[in-house]
Structure 1
Amino acid sequence: MGAKGAAIATVSAQGFSFLFALVYLCKKGIGYSFYKEDICFSKYIQKIMQIGFPLGLQSVLVNISFLIITIIVNQMGLIASASLGVVEKLMGFLMLPALALGSALASLIALNVGAKQYKRAKQTLKYAISISLAFAIIVTTICEIDGTILTRIFTNNQDVIKNGALYLKTYSIDCLLTSFLFCINGYLNGYEKTIFTIVHSLVATFIGRIPLTLLFSKIPNVTLFHMGIAAPLSTMISLVMIFIYFKKTKFDNIKER
């Protein structure tokens, strides 16, 4: 059934998952009393929107940026386009530890800040970065030595396998950098600094990665090796902005009370 079958399978899986959860909740309950009167606006809605909206907007705009990058790479031909698709799927998985730890950190840091445990919040950030970086070093090393080990999982086309591995050689460096970036973003979000996290992300994406990708695509005899450099360079822009922000706001001087 091709792509149509994949779409039907995806929607069906989500539907069965929802039904299973619904039946489970009906039988087991949710652990506390809940009435229709509880569905109402409260004074906390504004706070939730203040913190949540920038994060949601960031996610939407970043995905739009990936579409733009895909359009740029598609102009390089079918093999380049297919290789991009393979690598983006891979990178989504390879960056998952850093992304998951960053999301978890937002809650953990918020709890520590609420308890005024600022020193423990910093230690939590350090542990998260260490765990994420350990995984990133392993996958980046694999990509640098022989990226075809990973790209051949998705396809039998030798050209796509080789070009994907070439793209991974530079793009995978971003795994090392995002180990810091995603965890620090979670740390900042825990402090409710969501506006800054969206600002530096959008600057890095729309002033860094997209223009760099477009610029590299104009180079004569360009390959995906060159295109992959745009990702780590844009992440470096975010990290530099974060470093300046930490120094200007004196985050390092927050002490445990």
Structure 2
Amino acid sequence: MTVAALINVGLDLLFVAVFGWGVAGAAVATVIAQGFSALYCLMVLRKIPDIRLEKQDFYRQPAMSLRLLKVATPLAIQNVIISIGGLTVQYVVNGFGFLFVAGFTASNKLYGVLEMAAVSYGYAITTYVGQNLGAKKYQRIRKGVHSGTYMALLTSVAISGVMVLFGRNILSLFVSGEPEQIRQVLDIAYKYLFIMAIFLWVLYLLYVYRSAIQGLGNTLIPLASGIAEFVMRVSVALLLPKLIGEDGIFYAEICAWTSAAVLLFISYMIIIRKYKE
């Protein structure tokens, strides 16, 4: 990731600032950077004896391919559904004027920072749960998920505190223009960021329990949670602004998180009861 980031930044400056390729230049830079990252990972993998790729590894294995598709397809559909929901929200936001769009976009630039630790916890929990499921250490699964929950909550509170206290200053790094326009954009951006920060713990719980369920080999419930996110996000985005004004769009994300988190938490509690030492 470090290699990809450095190459991406360098090529962005070259293709956009020097060559003047605009958006296309940024896209090409991203593809090239990710390509170098993939090659680097492949080189590292080849040096690990236990997982070194051999010629026979590329032979067709229909049974294994079908098994992987069965696990992966619901996750792929889930991500597509969530992305479509995000596009719907952006469509609604675009109707509120360029200042609102600028403020909304500025806050979304920090969304990746807000959820970065949650994604990391998710990867760790999926791997941990899957390994202990294979070893039939079901009590360790429960303890691990409990620990992950506490860690995720504490992390979300810490990040929320930083965003509430310093969010406006951070957002100012992404905004430029006339002083009055900057003030209006920052007002919009900080209001959205503040709401997301207050409810960030919900997003972190969502990642914990979705990852735990995936680690248990169940990808249908995470798909159902993605559908719940989509329905709630789109419904709130289309309806709430008509009732309370433009600020209603800020709650689309929160309601989507909450609906998915509730479904995942209840599902995890039901599923884990089936596993006894």
Q: TM-score, normalised by structure 1?
A: 0.85
The answer to whether the 8 Å contact 2:209/2:261 transfers is: no
Residue 245 of structure 1 corresponds to 267
Name the CA distance, whole Å, in 1 between partners of 2:29 and 2:120: 26
SS in 2 for 1:147: helix
Structure 1 residues 48-90: Cα deviation after superposition (integer angstroms, max 9, x where no partner): 2111111111111111111111011111111111222222221
Counterpart AA for 1:39:
Y
Name the CA distance, whole Å, in 1 between partners of 2:137 and 2:57: 36
Runs of 4+ that moved beyond 4 A: 18-22
Residue 210 of structure 1 corresponds to 234
Q: Which shows bigger deviation, 194-203 or 156-165?
A: 156-165
SS in 1 for 2:130: helix
Structure 1 residues 199-244: Cα deviation after superposition (integer angstroms, max 9, x where no partner): 12212322x1111111122236x244x3222222222222332344
CA RMSD of aligned residues (A): 2.5
Give structure 1 stretches of 5+ with no counterpart.
none
Residue 172 of structure 1 corresponds to 197
Question: What is the number of equivalent residue pairs in this alignment?
Answer: 250
SS in 2 for 1:152: helix
2:185 paired with 1:160: yes
Residue 124 of structure 2 corresponds to 104
Out of 123, 126, 130, the position equivalent to 2:143 is: 123
Residue 254 of structure 1 corresponds to 275
Residue 63 of structure 2 corresponds to 43
2:249 paired with 1:227: yes
Higher share in helix: 2
2:204 paired with 1:184: no
Counterpart AA for 2:58:
D
Change (3 A) 1:153 1:131: farther
Q: Which shows bigger deviation, 197-206 or 68-77?
A: 197-206
Identity %: 23
Name the CA distance, whole Å, in 2 between partners of 1:49 and 1:189: 14
